[in-house]
Amino acid sequence: MWSSIPRTLTRLPTQRLASLASHRPPTLPFPRSSASAISRALHTTRPSYAKYERFDQRPSFGGSPGPSGGGPTFWQYIKRRMGGDRAVWVYGIGIGGGGIYYVTHLERVPETGRLRFIDVDEAQERELGRQTQLQTLSEYDRALLPPNHPISKRIRKVATRIIESSGLGRVKSSGEMGAIEGTVPTWGGGIDMKDVFFGGGEGGKEVREGKDTEWEVYVIDDKKTKNAFVLPGGKIFVFTGILPISDNDDGLATVLGHEIAHQVARHPAERMSSMKVLFALGLLLESLGLDVGVSRLLLTFMLQLPNSRKNESEADFIGLRLMSRACFDPTESSKMWERMSAAEGGKGLSVDFLSTHPANAKRIKQLENWMPERKTPKYRTMVHQPDNPPVATIESGGPATSPALEERPHDFRYEIIQGYFIQNGPQPKHTNFEDLLKQSFGLIDTSPERWYNLKASIRKLQDQAPEGVYYKVMFLGYNVAEIARHGQGWHNFGAGKYGIDKWEEYWTYLYNDDEITWGPDPELTPLGKSQAQAINRCWAAEAPLGAPIKPDEMTWYVSPFTRTGQTLEESWGALLGRAPEVWEDWREVYGSHTCDKRSTRTILQKRFPSFKFEEGLTEEDELWKEDDRETDAHMQMRAQRAMDRLFGKDGAKETYISVTAHSAILRNLLAVLHHQAYPLATGEMIPVVVKATRLRANS
């Protein structure tokens, strides 16, 4: 961890740290050995030990020779030291019992699977962290930056990104970061230290950092202290002095990822537990007559320091994973440590044998060795940077069809019949949607009989079509085989708030900010509802002119999302003539973006009781994965499958279809229909006349 953590959590810094931080942390009145067990600084620290005093001066094994000219045998020496055969049995039973206790308290570290000894209650661990938090806040009260300070917001955003991307809980917003009740505690009035080091207390309470943990971020304006630490219970403290070394958000993610990793792995509890083992071994060695100085050296260099370095390396590895999952650049981790080494003026130890932490050079090399794992295609998917999709339909110009469409047999081949709507051609153009609403959604025929003429023309096409050829009118975006894009949702609002680049790079992987919530499955904004209501007014005006919206003419389909369901209800209202069918194939691209995770089937059915949900719609969203994003090629296969279902059920019986869906699936549906790219804003639609030619028997 970092230098200058409150003394309640770490040992005193060595001269190596003195140059980095003049901060003198607060002191709580409990044994230094216990305090050092909770947490330790990121840099090298020199361990301190309690002094053991010997009350007898009997010669140890191998001491002065006896009358026969030599010392006692080992077994004679053991019995002499222990007080006879009975004492030997007592010692043996004690050691055996201790071994059983040790083995039964072994557990594996999350992320790495390392086996380690822990017997500290998690509730007690958090209580220690809570009291240290209160003391730290009391000491630095005047140096704390407000939660809404730009630096606080920046650090909170980085922490939020790391924590929420790994499902470790949620970070409290600036509005939730009120004053913490309580005063600087005394240990007698809070937790009993004997419960921590000798058992007892609440016992086994499951409060591990997880999805229910509420993390808090505190920023201390101290530019001289290059420090950051995390207390049990999710309390994050960052000194502004570390920011120049972190340099950027990726470097800051390295710092925070490392500290959060210590809590994920419960390293403080592991160190507290190891203190008991060291204490017991020290007593055993001393009882056997081993010089106290020698026993201290053995325990320090053979157990304590290696375990500490192992914890630090493990935190580096887990932290690298955490920052990678949050879409930060993992290559910045080694660069951050190079800056740290430079900040220390090259005074860091070149070897780590005497240190609680790996040497900087070794640390950098380890991170670089781990880097290939973070650069694999699996990593690119994990951090939401998939390879370029095989099709790009965002730019205007000819049909863009994925080669994947030709790799599997389909039931139909689709094409667009031009000459009916200005959006389709023969000279297609993108028209402001407000103008389209005034032009019957883009009908080229502007006569009073325009809808009757359209229906007559489509009926003629159907009557003259050879076997296996069908025609439907669809509105992509909104109605007549209507493909309609939903109105503005809160995720759209968020993208507008932060800009599309920052949204795609960062915010879309979160669930909210300090003001709005956009995931999962956001609702329509007030603007989104007004956009849908504008569609409703237009259809109401077109109905007397023969628009095909009667229950025996129009069929409605919708994706299984709240925003599309609300859009359909608002845009049709009383004009909705039959129950809309909910198909999962019409859903938005799934994976990684939190707004694209749907609600459960039960929740959706409660929100839209009049809708007809397809039988195969699962209760939970089993398609959405936080570390995987659906490709355009797969969406086109999904759109093709949905179209095959539409045309495969009774062929031409359903002529006019309304599909209320999302931008990405509609964009790929246009590619399936061999239509030129046509970008749709929220609440817009593109009507199309579709010709389907059967390729094989319906599967």
Active site residues: 259
Measured CA distances, 495 to 171, 470, 488, 518 (Å)? 21, 40, 11, 10
Whether the bond between 520 and the residue before it is cis, its omega within 30 degrees of 0, is yes
Q: How far is CA 636 from the centre of its chain?
A: 28
Torsion of CA 279, 281, 284, 287, to 10 degrees: -60
Omega of the bond prior to 580 within 30 degrees of 0, cis?
no
d(CA 676, CA 659): 19
CA dihedral 460, 461, 463, 467 (to 10 degrees): 170
Q: Helix crossing, 249-264 with 305-325: angle to 10°?
A: 120
Report the length, in residues, of the chain: 699
Sheet holding 235-239, edge to edge: 170-171, 214-220, 235-239, 228-231
Q: Which residue has the tokens 């609600």?
A: 599
Torsion angle of C-alpha atoms 89, 90, 91, 94, degrees rounded to 10: 120
Question: Which residue matches tokens 């005497």?
Answer: 354
**What's at 286, amino acid-wise?**
E
User: Residue 455 has which token pair?
Assistant: 């229906």
Name 85's Cβ contacts closer than 8 Å, sequence gap at least 6. 79
Q: What is the DSSP letter of 240?
A: G
Half-sphere CA count of 352, side-chain side, radius 13 A: 19
Q: Cα 181 vs. chain centroid, distance in angstroms? A: 30
In contact, 244 and 213? CB cutoff 8 Å: no
Q: Any idea what DSSP says for residue 144?
A: B
Residue 42 identity: L
Q: Are 438 and 445 in contact (CB under 8 A)?
A: no
Cα atoms in the 13 Å half-sphere on the side-chain side of 372: 2
CA trace torsion 329, 330, 334, 337 (10° rounding): 80
Nearest to 674 by CA among 662, 660, 663, 688: 688
The amino acid present at 695, given as its one-letter code, is L
